[in-house]
Structure 1
């Protein structure tokens, strides 16, 4: 399944929306990689297994689900989470890219690629795969909007100012 969407960070037409810098958003995305429990309260037992200049390997628990990710980034531009498959889930990739079409606009693009089927297989009358894909896309979108909400909260407290 492929799913991609944009979340607008800065909107020059909305003066009530606090403008954030690319650096603030970037710092928050790295924070999310290193401390995912600060972005989703159900995450526990976070362990950083390996760290380099442009990557880290981590694991955590999400309820009963065990997740292990290899995360790589291009500083200030994008971060990719490659979740390893295991007996509990099929794995997948999430790439988050910072986009600045001009000096007043800032977006974050979330791109998911998973082994989940996107549509009903040809010749099948079972619509459960398509329904499940639709549900997962909706859950991803809600989680991403929540990520941006959390980034705004962190920025408002001054924790992203470096």
Structure 2
């Protein structure tokens, strides 16, 4: 097994990223038709979009927003057929290494409730870092932080 954390930039890479987000984070959670492929947050220059490639095939995606010396991990997905096989841990580690290389020492995430255990096993801790973000679609999320 060979992993690669790749910036999602080409039309094909962006299509794979959007498909994973739409299918796993929105449609599978009863929010079909809500996802916006052209959301302006994806266009910000400080928002880095990644694909996790496994032997050349995209199996996961996440966005790392660089904000005030911290990294906010967003829209984290491992496709269902590849979940619970260590790929999420590999992607989290590769993103943490990338962030650290950029001088980021604090990562933040709004975790889905069913992912809290995953993050805790990876060294994240529950920490309220912006209550304002826990509105709307993120109202059931648990805020967490990891110090690199």
TM-score by length of 1: 0.31
Q: Which has the higher contact order (CA 8 A, sep 6+)?
A: 1
Which of these two proteins has the greater Rg computed from alpha carbons? 1
